[in-house]
């Protein structure tokens, strides 16, 4: 009888010790891909408080973030070929994707702005055509690597106010048009996460650099993604857990960004006034 009790206790102890391992295996793996919005630029403690981290903390996911400042769509294609990134995407349960803005911002921006202000849309249209090809390849690579993954694709919001708003709006609308066109042609390829209604009209959601989400903006993006995940049965909570609240970034470069933005805004206003005469 004592031997039987000893065996039962030993088995029970082994089972209890194994529970954390089973729990860890049950955690969904969440991967964030894309540009500086995905990375968390705009806040100092991006590793702790970007929207991807907030989503992961809220739902208890394991988490990897491969957002890169300045990343363009063709750069992401190369990033997806790296062994560590490809491996993480292949085992992911959920992938969030934010890409496209830098296809415009990393081009000859002064030329793009001045030509667009004059009514010449060739550059902006050419970039859209190229993005259409690159975006299809990105989605195809992710799907080929991991057919069962839940892929969340974010639209691009327009962060600008004033004279630059119209030009940024043209660029963001073309990116979003590619994304929605792809989904219409390929139903179920991904879940559309529309950031526009959440971010636009709320300057407090935009960081001091006038482009990226602020700390509050990251919370709002996390809340938006959490709602989608709950609808998909991949989480229960919609209110982001903030273990380390975001700290808004106000570096010297933010003032440089603002000065450049204001300079181009004045140039655009001048061009517009000349063409209206």
Range(s) of the domain holding residue 154: 26-275
* CATH number for the domain that contains residue 257: 3.40.50.1110
In a domain, 174, yes or no: yes
Please give the Cα distance from 162 to 166 (Å, whole number): 8
Arithmetic mean of pLDDT, 172-181: 97
In a domain, 11, yes or no: no
* Burial class of residue 109, CB neighbours in 10 A (0-12, 13-18, 19+): middle
Mean pLDDT over the full length of the chain: 86
Report the candidate in 168, 169, 166, 255 with the shortest Cα–Cα distance to residue 207.
255
pLDDT tens-digit readout, 65-84: 999 999 999 999 999 999 99
Q: Which residue has the higher pLDDT, 114 or 198?
A: 198
Total domains in the chain come to 1
CB 42 within 8 A of CB 211: yes
In a domain, 12, yes or no: no
In a domain, 8, yes or no: no
Q: How far is CA 16 from CA 28, 189, 199, in A?
A: 22, 41, 46
In a domain, 223, yes or no: yes
Q: What pTM, to 2 d.p., does this model score? A: 0.81
pLDDT tens-digit readout, 58-67: 999 999 999 9
Arithmetic mean of pLDDT, 172-187: 97
């Amino acid at each position: 009888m004592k031997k039987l009790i000893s065996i039962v206790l030993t088995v029970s102890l082994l089972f209890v010790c194994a529970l954390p391992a089973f729990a860890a295996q049950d955690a969904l793996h969440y991967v964030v891909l894309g540009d500086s919005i995905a990375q968390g630029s705009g806040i100092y403690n991006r590793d702790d408080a970007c929207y991807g981290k907030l989503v992961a903390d809220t739902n208890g996911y394991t988490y990897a973030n491969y957002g890169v400042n300045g990343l363009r769509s063709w750069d992401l294609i190369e990033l997806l070929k790296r062994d560590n990134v490809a491996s993480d995407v292949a085992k992911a349960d959920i992938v969030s994707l934010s890409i496209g803005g830098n296809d415009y911002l990393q081009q000859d921006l002064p030329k793009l702005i001045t030509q667009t202000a004059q009514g010449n849309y060739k550059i902006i249209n050419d970039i859209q055509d190229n993005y259409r090809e690159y975006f299809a390849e990105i989605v195809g690579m992710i799907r080929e690597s991991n057919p069962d993954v839940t892929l969340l694709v974010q639209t691009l919001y327009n962060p600008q106010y004033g004279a630059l708003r119209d030009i940024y709006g043209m660029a963001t609308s073309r990116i979003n048009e590619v994304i929605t066109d792809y989904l219409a042609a390929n139903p179920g390829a991904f879940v559309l996460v529309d950031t526009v209604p959440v971010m636009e009209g709320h300057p407090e959601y935009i960081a001091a650099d006038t482009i990226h989400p602020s700390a509050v903006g990251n919370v709002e993006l996390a809340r938006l993604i959490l709602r989608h995940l709950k609808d998909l049965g991949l989480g229960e909570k919609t209110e982001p857990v903030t273990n380390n609240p975001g700290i808004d970034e106000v570096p010297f470069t933010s003032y440089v960004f603002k000065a450049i933005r204001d300079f181009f805004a004045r140039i655009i206003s001048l061009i517009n006034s000349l063409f209206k005469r």
